[in-house]
């Protein structure tokens, strides 16, 4: 699946293309997509394909096409504080983007059939938290993953505000999926070759909307050949945050507000200084006269003998100016992590500073 938009040179260009094609339509979804580099979820030898609008599969590792993920994110209508269940959570790429929107008081759970993919997802999650330049711009709802078949979830599990299934669902399993939803919740899944959005409007009332045609591998049916018994999947408990964790969230939020206020006071209305554009020289060019006469075109060129010399001088001067300005244009200053700088400047013990920064490497 995929190929709906042009390939990008990097993650931002991929997102630009998805926006232009109207797959990404809201600011929250755009921010989440830009915050997590899709290439970070690829194996090193396959990263050249990361910014193409194509699905990728290697062994049990699988990523859907960017246009599919963007449609899913938009259809889920995510908001801070909601609970989310990802059936077939895979690499954790989608779950991490969702976590950026859910915020610190949301719930973010995933079920994945393959234990090796769970380990891969945990490695990628750890890499994102410890190294991403964009992590400190958000308060993150960290996903929790469990191994098992999503068709064997324990019947006494909690219901969720948002549910996504990343594999093809047969009609016979539609009601099973619906029962995972709270009233008012949204379920997005591939149902009978259509990406489908189902909203639970009441205890037994539903609204269904077909989004687009898709082709997903079907859900793997439970295999009870070994024991003859079902292996129930128990979802992670909805944990209550510790007082220590709540304090970290509150302190980081307060520091962000201070930074925002300082930026506003420095810049007046908070707008950045307008970018400086390179002065372009106006080069004198030869004049061409085109005469239209009874459906035929006659072209003549009027040339001043001095133009050739002036042109060559202008070209040479422009070339020198470009060489002088090129290094600064090609090497912009790296973005400053103001939150990190502010935390490190506080008169606090180092262990507390590192705790506030999630022990991040950058």
Q: Are 25 and 70 in the same domain? A: yes
CA dihedral 326, 331, 332, 333 (to 10 degrees): -140
Phi and psi dihedrals of 56, rounded to 5? -140, 135
- Which strand (E) or helix (H) includes residue 98? helix 93-102
In sequence order, the β-bridge partners of residue 296 are 293
Residue 311, in any domain of the structure: no
Q: Are 235 and 258 in the same domain? A: no
Residue among 251, 254, 248 nearest 358 (CA): 248
> What pLDDT score was predicted for residue 164?
98
Q: Are 210 and 348 in the same domain? A: no
Instruction: Output the six-digit token pair for 314.
Output: 């202008």
CATH, residue 212: 3.40.50.150
Residue 32, in any domain of the structure: yes
Range of the domain at 155: 11-239
> What pLDDT score was predicted for residue 326?
56
Task: Say how far apart CA 175 and CA 163 lie, in whole Å.
Answer: 13
Q: Are 259 and 184 in the same domain? A: no
Task: Say how far apart CA 70 and CA 20 lie, in whole Å.
Answer: 12
Of 64, 70, 89, 96, which residue is the catalytic one?
64
> What pLDDT score was predicted for residue 313?
64
Q: Is the pTM of this model over 0.85?
A: no
> What pLDDT score was predicted for residue 315?
62
Instruction: Please say if 6 is a catalytic residue.
Output: no
Asked if 203 and 183 touch (Cβ cutoff 8 Å), the reply is yes
Q: Are 75 and 115 in the same domain? A: yes
Asked if 3 and 14 touch (Cβ cutoff 8 Å), the reply is no
Phi and psi dihedrals of 335, rounded to 5? -65, 145
Residue 327, in any domain of the structure: no
Residue 24, in any domain of the structure: yes
Q: Are 210 and 185 in the same domain? A: yes
Residue 290, in any domain of the structure: no
CA dihedral 355, 356, 357, 360 (to 10 degrees): 10
> What pLDDT score was predicted for residue 6?
78
Residue 114, in any domain of the structure: yes
Q: Are 107 and 197 in the same domain? A: yes
Q: Are 102 and 216 in the same domain? A: yes
Q: Are 162 and 256 in the same domain? A: no
Residue 322, in any domain of the structure: no
Strand pairing class (56-58; 61-63) = antiparallel
> What pLDDT score was predicted for residue 277?
44
Task: Please list the rounded mean pLDDT of every run of 10 residues in the chain (362 residues).
Answer: 77 96 96 96 95 95 96 98 98 98 96 97 95 89 96 94 97 96 98 96 96 93 69 89 94 94 79 45 42 43 48 64 57 78 93 91 66
Judging by beta carbons within 10 Å of its beta carbon (0-12, 13-18, 19+), is residue 82 exposed, middle or buried? Answer: buried
Residue 323, in any domain of the structure: no
Q: Are 250 and 218 in the same domain? A: no
Of the residues 206, 239, 272, which one is the last residue of a structural domain? 239
Q: Are 41 and 172 in the same domain? A: yes
- Which strand (E) or helix (H) includes residue 211? strand 205-213
Q: How many domains does the chain have?
A: 2
Q: Are 230 and 253 in the same domain? A: no
3-state secondary structure 168-201: EECHHHHHHHHCCEEEEEEEEEEECCEEEEEEEE
């Amino acid at each position: 699946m995929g190929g709906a938009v042009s390939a990008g040179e990097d993650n931002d260009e991929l997102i630009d293309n998805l926006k232009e094609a109207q797959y990404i339509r809201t600011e929250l979804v755009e921010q989440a997509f830009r915050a997590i580099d899709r290439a970070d979820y690829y194996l090193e030898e396959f990263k050249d394909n990361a910014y193409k609008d194509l699905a990728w599969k290697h062994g049990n590792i699988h990523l859907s096409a960017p246009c599919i993920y963007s449609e899913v994110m938009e259809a889920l209508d995510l908001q801070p504080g909601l609970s989310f269940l990802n059936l077939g959570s895979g690499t954790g790429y989608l779950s991490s983007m969702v976590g950026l929107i859910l915020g610190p008081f949301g719930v973010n759970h995933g079920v994945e059939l393959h234990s090796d993919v769970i380990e891969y997802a945990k490695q990628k999650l750890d890499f994102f938290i410890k190294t991403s330049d964009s992590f400190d711009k958000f308060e993150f709802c960290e996903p929790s993953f469990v191994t098992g078949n999503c068709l064997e979830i324990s019947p006494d599990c909690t219901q969720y505000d948002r549910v996504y299934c990343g594999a093809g669902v047969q009609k016979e399993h539609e009601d099973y999926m619906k029962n995972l939803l709270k009233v008012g919740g949204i379920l997005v899944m591939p149902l009978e070759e259509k990406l489908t959005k189902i909203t639970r409007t009441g205890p037994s009332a539903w609204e269904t909307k077909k989004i687009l045609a898709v082709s997903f591998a079907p859900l793997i049916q439970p295999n009870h050949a070994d024991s003859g018994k079902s292996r129930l999947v128990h979802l992670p408990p909805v944990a209550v945050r510790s007082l220590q964790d709540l304090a970290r969230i509150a302190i980081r939020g307060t520091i962000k507000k201070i930074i925002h206020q300082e930026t506003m006071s420095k810049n007046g209305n908070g707008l950045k200084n307008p970018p400086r554009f390179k002065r372009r020289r106006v080069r004198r060019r030869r004049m061409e006269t085109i005469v239209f006469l009874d459906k035929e075109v006659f072209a003549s060129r009027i040339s001043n003998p001095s133009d050739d010399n002036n042109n060559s001088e202008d070209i040479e001067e422009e070339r020198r100016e470009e060489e002088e300005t090129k290094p600064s244009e090609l090497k912009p200053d790296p973005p400053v992590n103001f939150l990190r700088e502010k935390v490190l400047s506080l008169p606090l013990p180092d262990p507390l500073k590192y705790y506030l920064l999630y022990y991040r490497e950058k």
